[in-house]
Amino acid sequence: MTESQVIMYGADWCGDCIRSKRVLDEIGVPYAYVNLVETPEAADTAEQISGRKNIPVVVMPDGSHLVEPTDSELRSSLESNGLL
């Protein structure tokens, strides 16, 4: 993972995570996916970033983050980071 890419913390059982992954995949934005089922210790990192236990946590290259973003919130954040 690099600081210049989007990082998404999520789980495959999470509907909001599946939806956010779909948005990123459809747009073609490269991102690192941290599967919290396969890497449960990363849940602490996601919680430290967001201050919450909710997922997905999507971290943008500028250091901002979104928690359970709507599709439009995710697209808007990608646009402000110059990824659209």
- According to DSSP, the β-strands at 57-59 and 31-35 are unpaired
What is the tens place of the pLDDT at every residue in 31-40? 999 999 999 9
State mean pLDDT over 37-49. 96
**40 preceded by a cis bond (ω within 30 of 0):** no
- The CATH homologous superfamily of the domain defined by 6-80: Glutaredoxin (3.40.30.10)
Percent above pLDDT 90 for the chain: 93
Q: How much is the pTM?
A: 0.92
Query: Above 70 in pLDDT, residue 26?
Result: yes
What local confidence, expressed as pLDDT, does residue 59 receive?
Answer: 97
Calculate the average pLDDT of the chain: 94
Q: Measure the CA–CA gap between 42 and 53, rounded to whole angstroms.
A: 12
